[in-house]
Amino acid sequence: MSRFFYRGGSDSESSSSDEEEDVYQRSEEEEESDEESSEQSDSGSDDSDDSDDEAIAKGGAAAFLKDDSESEEEEEEEKVTVVKSAKDKRLEGLENTIKLIENAQKINDWSVISTEFDNLNRQIVKITQSGPVPKVYVQAVADLEDFVNESVSKQKAANKKMNASQQKGFNAVKQRIKKNNKDYAAQIDKYRADKDAYMESDEEVEKPLPAAPKPTKVEKIENFAAAAAAAAAEDEEFTTVGRGGKTLQYTPESILKHLRVIVESRGKKNTDRLDQIKTMEKLLAVATSPYQRIRVYLTLISTRFDLTSSSANYMSPEQWKSADKEFGSLLSVLEENRNLIVSEGADEWEDDEKQPSIAEGETFYIPGSIVSYIERLDDELTRSLQQIDPHTAEYIERLSDEQQLYNNIVRAQLYVESQNAGEKNDTRQDSVNRVIIRRLEHVYFKPSQVVSILEDATWKALPEKLDSSVTSRKNASDVTNLIQTLCHYLFQNSDGIIRARSMLCQIYFLALHDQYYRSRDLMLMSHLSENISNFDVSTQILFNRTLVQIGLCAFRAGLIYEAQNTLGDICGSGRQKELLAQGIILQRYSTVSPEQERLERQRQLPFHMHINLELLECIYLTSSMFLEVPLMAQTSSAPEMRRRMISKTFRRMLDYNERQVFTGPPENTRDGVIMSAKFLAAGDWKKAASMLSSIKIWDLMPQPEKVKEMLAAQTQEEGLRTYLFTYAPFYDSLSVSSLADMFELPVKKIAAIISRMISHEELAAALDQVNDAIIFRKGVELSRLQSQIVTLADKSMGLLESNEKTLEQRTQGMANAFQREQGPGARGGRGGRGGGGQGRGGARIPGGQHGRRPGGQQFGGGALGGAIKA
Amino acid sequence: MADNAPPSAEKLSGAQPTDITPEYDLLPRLIPYLDRHLVFPLLEFSAGEDDKEITRAKYELLKHTNMTDYVANLWKEINNTDSIPDEFVKKREEVLAKLEHYQVQSEKITELLQDEEVVGNLRSDKAANLRFLEEQHGVTNDMVNSLYDYGRFQYSCGSYGNAAELLYQFRVLSTDNDKVASATWGKLASEILTTNWEGAMEEVQKAKDSIETRLFNNPLAQLTNRSWLIHWSLFPFFNHDPARDVLTDLFFSPAYINTIQTSCPWILRYLAAAVITNRGRPHKHHGAYQKQLKDLIRVVRQEGYEYTDPITDFIKALYVDFDFEEAQRKLSEAEEVLRSDFFLVSAADAFVEAARHLISESYCKIHQRIDIK
């Protein structure tokens, strides 16, 4: 039983109380300080920062901890009375496990071997963290491998099957042991070469200094040799060494080594990144040459990014801010040292011992990517904005960081630009494009006043001597020009998604600034609407946003038809939220997997970029109203046109409103528009206009008064049209001047509207100039009987066609077969009049679809049809 | 050859004649799309009021061409002297020398091509022709190219007839697509300048085809080439009656109407004038005219924010606003504009007549009773 305890005990201890263990371990180390120095874990560097605390806590804490652990253990397990160091305990656990394996080998119990082997490896990870690989372990794995090989050959020879669980365990071990043993190949070879000698040397090696360190760990140990020496020195004379101890530990020479250690631990478990960050901050203080500083900054920033590995979470603001600041200082170092260039494809500097010597005028490349850093910073800010509740002060606070970020984006742009100016190549051009599109995406959706504030602050923050070749400093105040230049640069130098995005950004910006025609023309010329489905989702979202913005712009300009048309695609779908990435609709019976939902959440725009959905809906409904109400009035008398519909959403809402028994005063925007539509339909334009202008949401538009005026004018005009459509059947003539009084429009305007309606054949009427009146022509509209006849004719056409189709199917389209079947066909459905039609139809049908039409038209084209058309 | 934006274009636009309706003068807009030599008749036309300025403009325009004698005369006119500066004399000599040189270079091939027998042996396959000529008569590619250079030079000297002939010969033989396209443009210009309208129409067709096929995947080049073609074909448009229908159809075809809308909306004036004057002409079928008119109204309405002049205003007043008084007013303005427009001057009367027809037609359609007083 005890072995289980040990194993469990050491496990839990190491994982649950890392902190405690550290100190504990340290107290052990002090006893055998020279040996232990090599065995300090990565966290050994910890020493430095809390060296002050350490000095105080040294004696006491160790003693205390010893007591503590002792008492704990006594409580837990009576058996253990001897205090052992954590390391010893682990070793003991290891030995127990090995023993188990050996026992299991004897009885060929592979399932036990398999589980114990797993245990063994888990333990060895812990042990190697704090020291060299124990010899016993090497021995065990080497033996195990031999045993496995032996068993394989045995199995082949005997051709005997193991039972299922055994076989499974055996296979598992077979596979893993090979992989595992590769790591220890050197030691295993040594062991195999001379088993006894190896095991003996074991004892010796473990005791003295790690003068002959294990080959795989060479680097690590070397790295820490300096640190350990420093620590040792510190231990001896801790009363006198203050800050000097640090400078001793982190010398400019050792910076690269420290960095390498950190880089190598990247992506591994159980590395304390916060700790590494602290180390690097100290390294930064001692770094002397620009090269060192650049290297430290590069590693430091990436480590900060590594802190938040899970994609669901966002980087803490503090970390973000320091990363942002460090990025800024990295750029300033780079700006001062133009011969040092950070580039993606550079070779790594292999030699940690010495610094690269850079001759004057020579450029030296350091691996890294400025663009990726700035992109990551940008993404992290967006991510945090996505997750913070937009109605809190926190959001605003976070948003204010955008200025900082924007500064750095511009600065990074200047940097990559200057590199690109020196020597052009594709990757550099690509990085310039990437930075510029980032910059563009921070400004395109903002009103120009806001952007100019942002720009001014940025140029103030940047060092005087920097200037951009693409967007020069003196043009910074002209925002329209800025956007234009940025977009033009991207049109010329990029392709694919970036190009499409830059186009969309420009169009969006133009639409936002009331340049409807330009934005529309650009949208049409870009031909994006044809191939937008080939782009990625976020570009599609941008496309939708741009489309909506153009629609809003058209509405502000009073172009109702265009606005309705443009907005129809997005708003008519009822999925505005989703299409604009401004919220997730949770469908009740959705089949969305968590994965998809997560992606969806990632795509959401931060709140400050949103387009007001309520305003959008209101505008869409209002423009639909201006088009639909006259149309409904027009089609109410002509049933064959009833199917025409401009906005389904609007119709549905109107229907819903009409079905209600009692309708109260409008409570929300939607109700307001619908009410107004009802007044308009009744010809009461004044009430419609006042209802419409009482909707509060117009105040959110840039110039609410102008919009309301436009709406009132539209209401007058459409009211007149609706009135004429609705009441035309009841009038013989109508005085133009009385209409002018009624709608408070000038006579000329009324005449123009009526003329247009007459000319487009919407209204069967004519103007009488002498009497200043409209004369309505009678008998043009279909009577009830006539319209029903038309419907009948349509239906019989349908019947005829389907009948013929069936026939064709039966006879498999064979012409002569059809001829034979003709008789029964005529007898069946159509008698009398149909017979005549059929004679002709029959002759033509073999000619195909085309021939059928004239035969069909006979129904509508008779004497009655002529009368209708007249 | 298709060097359509002469460097002096900017300068020229500054030197505009003071027209009756100067704000509607399209000359500065047209010039960038026309060839140097094509601009000349336009300038000639506007010469009337301010001779000095026009002469200067003409001088600037032709300075770079090889029409040395004429340029020297212009220079004399400008400076009011009789003596000719040396540079003109020198240039004249150079030009003559070059002419000689080109003549010698292309002598052989021109002779060959005048030989009935040789011409009779030519097929439609260019490569085969070249091989045949090379084998039988030792014609090299360089010689063919010299035809092109010579043609170009002739054009520059102002002898357009010769240029057209040479370029035609070149085109028959050459397999160099770029040069052939360029030769087509050159020939088109030559035909226009020699007022050989039928030939010009043929070339317009060829240029159009070459734009469609050769620049298939370069939308920008297509756009510029189409706008050139549109401008160039204005010459036959209003001077050659049979061309009217073809070109109206061409301008209304989707690709060209888009070009007009995007890069040169002022062409709408000519299109509108053409459509309106077409009214009295016999049509293949009745619907065509209505359709043209409808298209025109649509485009005029769409482009209203970008381009307006009395002619498009007239269309707008008549068919969009149904404001007949405004339409009358615009018509009289339009008449003035038409009379001062190089291309439309001949069509002015027909335009006014047709426009009046249209007004009364639409007036009568809407009104039941009209007060004749």
**Above 50 in pLDDT, residue B229?**
yes
Of B305, B320, B369, the CB nearest to A517: B305
Distance in angstroms (rounded) separating the CA atoms of residues B132 and B118 = 10
Distance in angstroms (rounded) separating the CA atoms of residues A449 and A790 = 61
Render pLDDT for B267-321 as a digit per residue (tens, 0 to 9): 888 888 888 887 766 666 667 788 888 888 888 888 888 888 888 888 888 888 8
Of A517, A759, A766, the CB nearest to B368: A766
The amino acid at residue A165 is S
* Residue of B262, B318, B322 for testing the chain A interface, max A β-carbons within 10 Å: B322
Q: Which residue blocks in A184-313 are alpha helix, DSSP H?
A: 185-193, 195-206, 218-236, 244-249, 255-264, 273-286, 290-306
Distance in angstroms (rounded) separating the CA atoms of residues B237 and B271 = 10
Distance from CA of B323 to the nearest CA of A (A): 6
Give Cα separations from A9 to A69, A99, A454, A463 (angstroms). Answer: 11, 18, 59, 59
B-chain CB neighbours of A769 within 8 Å are 367, 369-371
**Above 90 in pLDDT, residue A550?**
yes
User: Residue A763 carries which DSSP code?
Assistant: S
Per-residue pLDDT at A38:
44
Residues 6 or more apart whose Cβ sits within 8 Å of residue A750: A720, A736, A739, A740, A743
Per-residue pLDDT at A358:
62
Per-residue pLDDT at B131:
72
**Contact yes or no for A756 and B322 at CB 8 A:** yes
Of A521, A752, A768, the CB nearest to B323: A752
Distance in angstroms (rounded) separating the CA atoms of residues A52 and B289 = 97
A-chain CB neighbours of B264 within 8 Å are none
Render pLDDT for B162-218 as a digit per residue (tens, 0 to 9): 888 888 877 777 777 777 788 888 888 888 888 888 888 888 888 888 888 877 777
Rounded to 5 degrees, what are φ and ψ at B368?
Answer: -95, -40
Q: What region does A645 belong to: left with phi over 0, alpha with psi -120 to 50, or beta?
A: beta
Kind and range of the H or E element at A791?
helix A784-810
Burial class from Cβ neighbours inside 10 Å (0-12, 13-18, 19+) for residue B236 reads buried
Render pLDDT for B113-161 as a digit per residue (tens, 0 to 9): 776 666 666 666 666 777 777 777 767 777 777 778 888 888 877 778 8
Say which residue the tokens 């204005």 belong to: B234
Instruction: Work out the percent of chain A whose per-residue pLDDT is above 90.
Output: 6
Residue A254 tokens read as 């050792």
Closest to A257 (Cα-Cα) out of A246, A267, A249: A249
Residue A682 tokens read as 């009744």
Distance in angstroms (rounded) separating the CA atoms of residues B330 and B341 = 16
Distance from CA of A634 to the nearest CA of B (A): 19
**Contact yes or no for B366 and A758 at CB 8 A:** yes
> What pLDDT band is residue A536 in, cutting at 50, 70 and 90?
confident
**Whole-number average pLDDT of chain B:** 77
A-chain CB neighbours of B262 within 8 Å are 521, 525
B-chain CB neighbours of A517 within 8 Å are 305-306
**Whole-number average pLDDT of chain A:** 73
Of B262, B306, B366, the CB nearest to A755: B366
Q: Which residue blocks in A77-213 are alpha helix, DSSP H?
A: 86-106, 110-130, 135-158, 164-183, 185-193, 195-206
Per-residue pLDDT at B51:
64
Distance in angstroms (rounded) separating the CA atoms of residues B259 and B215 = 15
Give Cα separations from A435 to A339, A450, A537 (angstroms). Answer: 21, 21, 20
**Contact yes or no for B322 and A770 at CB 8 A:** no
Per-residue pLDDT at A64:
46
A-chain CB neighbours of B254 within 8 Å are none
The amino acid at residue B118 is V
Asked if residue B340 lies in contact with residue B19, where contact means CB atoms within 8 angstroms, the answer is yes
Rounded to 5 degrees, what are φ and ψ at A733?
Answer: -145, 165
> What pLDDT band is residue A353 in, cutting at 50, 70 and 90?
low
In sequence order, the β-bridge partners of residue A356 are none
A-chain CB neighbours of B371 within 8 Å are 769-770
B-chain CB neighbours of A755 within 8 Å are 322, 366
Q: Which residue blocks in A557-609 are alpha helix, DSSP H?
A: 560-571, 576-579, 594-603
Distance in angstroms (rounded) separating the CA atoms of residues A553 and A574 = 21
> What pLDDT band is residue A60 in, cutting at 50, 70 and 90?
very low
**Contact yes or no for B362 and A517 at CB 8 A:** no
**Angle, to 10 degrees, between the axis of helix B348-366 and the axis of helix B310-319?**
20
**Above 80 in pLDDT, residue A539?**
yes
Give Cα separations from A44 to A231, A380, B113, B264 (angstroms). Answer: 9, 31, 95, 75
Of B262, B306, B365, the CB nearest to A759: B365
User: β-strands A364-367, A773-776: how paired?
Assistant: unpaired
Closest to A803 (Cα-Cα) out of A769, A836, A775, A826: A826
Per-residue pLDDT at B174:
74
Residue A834 tokens read as 């149909």
B-chain CB neighbours of A770 within 8 Å are 369-371
For residue B305, give the chain A residue with the closest CA: A517
Distance from CA of A521 to the nearest CA of B (A): 8
For residue A764, give the chain B residue with the closest CA: B366
User: β-strands A773-776, A765-768: how paired?
Assistant: antiparallel
**Contact yes or no for A769 and B370 at CB 8 A:** yes
User: Residue A363 carries which DSSP code?
Assistant: -
> What pLDDT band is residue A548 in, cutting at 50, 70 and 90?
very high
Q: Which residue blocks in A645-783 are alpha helix, DSSP H?
A: 648-659, 669-681, 685-693, 704-727, 736-743, 747-759
Distance in angstroms (rounded) separating the CA atoms of residues A290 and A297 = 10
Whole-prediction pTM value?
Answer: 0.67
For residue A748, give the chain B residue with the closest CA: B323
The 10 Å Cβ neighbour count of residue A488 is 13
In sequence order, the β-bridge partners of residue A366 are A342
A-chain CB neighbours of B319 within 8 Å are 759
Domain boundaries, chain B: 265-373
The amino acid at residue A402 is E
**Contact yes or no for B369 and A521 at CB 8 A:** no
The residue ranking higher by pLDDT, A803 or A300, is A803
For residue A559, give the chain B residue with the closest CA: B302
Choice among A118-127, A241-250, A754-763 with the minimum mean pLDDT? A241-250
Of A517, A521, A770, the CB nearest to B371: A770
For residue B306, give the chain A residue with the closest CA: A517
Asked if residue A853 lies in contact with residue A837, where contact means CB atoms within 8 angstroms, the answer is no
Of A755, A756, A768, the CB nearest to B369: A768
Give Cα separations from B203 to A542, B161, B190, B196, B206 (angstroms). Answer: 45, 14, 10, 11, 5
Residue A536 tokens read as 């990625």
DSSP conformation letters of B338-356: HHT-TTTGGGHHHHHHHHH
Per-residue pLDDT at A161:
60
**Contact yes or no for B367 and A752 at CB 8 A:** no
Per-residue pLDDT at A82:
55
Spell out where chain B has E strands: 367-369
In sequence order, the β-bridge partners of residue A416 are none
In sequence order, the β-bridge partners of residue A735 are A773
Burial class from Cβ neighbours inside 10 Å (0-12, 13-18, 19+) for residue B211 reads buried
The 10 Å Cβ neighbour count of residue A101 is 25
Size of interface A-B (CB pairs under 8 A): 39
Spell out where B9-57 has E strands: none
A-chain CB neighbours of B302 within 8 Å are none
Q: Which residues of B touch A (CB under 8 A)?
A: 262, 305-306, 319-323, 362, 365-371
Say which residue the tokens 């909306």 belong to: B265
A-chain CB neighbours of B367 within 8 Å are 766-769
Render pLDDT for A587-637 as a digit per residue (tens, 0 to 9): 656 666 777 777 777 788 888 888 888 899 899 999 999 998 888 888 776
b (16+ CB within 10 A) / e for A27-53: bbbeeeeeebbbbbbbbbbbbbeebee
Render pLDDT for A687-718 as a digit per residue (tens, 0 to 9): 988 988 888 888 888 888 888 999 999 899 99
**Contact yes or no for A769 and B262 at CB 8 A:** no
The amino acid at residue A828 is G
For residue B262, give the chain A residue with the closest CA: A521
**Contact yes or no for B322 and A521 at CB 8 A:** no
Distance in angstroms (rounded) separating the CA atoms of residues A560 and A310 = 47
For residue A771, give the chain B residue with the closest CA: B369
**Contact yes or no for B365 and A521 at CB 8 A:** no
The residue ranking higher by pLDDT, A837 or B31, is B31
Closest to B208 (Cα-Cα) out of B261, B251, B164, B268: B251
**Contact yes or no for B368 and A768 at CB 8 A:** yes
Distance from CA of A282 to the nearest CA of B (A): 57
**Contact yes or no for A751 and B322 at CB 8 A:** yes
Per-residue pLDDT at B285:
61
Q: Which residues of A touch B (CB under 8 A)?
A: 517, 521, 525, 748, 751-752, 755-756, 758-759, 766-771, 775
Render pLDDT for A441-472 as a digit per residue (tens, 0 to 9): 888 998 888 888 888 888 888 877 777 777 77
**Above 60 in pLDDT, residue A685?**
yes
For residue B373, give the chain A residue with the closest CA: A770
Burial class from Cβ neighbours inside 10 Å (0-12, 13-18, 19+) for residue A182 reads exposed
Per-residue pLDDT at A309:
62
Kind and range of the H or E element at A410?
helix A401-422
3-state secondary structure A812-835: CCCHHHHHHHHHHHHHHCCCHHHH
**Contact yes or no for A775 and B368 at CB 8 A:** yes
Distance from CA of B276 to the nearest CA of A (A): 18
**Angle, to 10 degrees, between the axis of helix A426-443 and the axis of helix A448-461?**
130
Render pLDDT for A127-172 as a digit per residue (tens, 0 to 9): 776 666 777 777 777 777 777 777 777 776 666 566 777 777 777 7
Choice among A89-103, A374-388, A522-536, A654-668 with the minimum mean pLDDT? A89-103
Distance in angstroms (rounded) separating the CA atoms of residues A797 and A122 = 82
The complex's ipTM? 0.72
B-chain CB neighbours of A758 within 8 Å are 365-366
Per-residue pLDDT at B18:
35
Burial class from Cβ neighbours inside 10 Å (0-12, 13-18, 19+) for residue A688 reads buried
In sequence order, the β-bridge partners of residue A765 are A776
Distance from CA of B96 to the nearest CA of A (A): 45
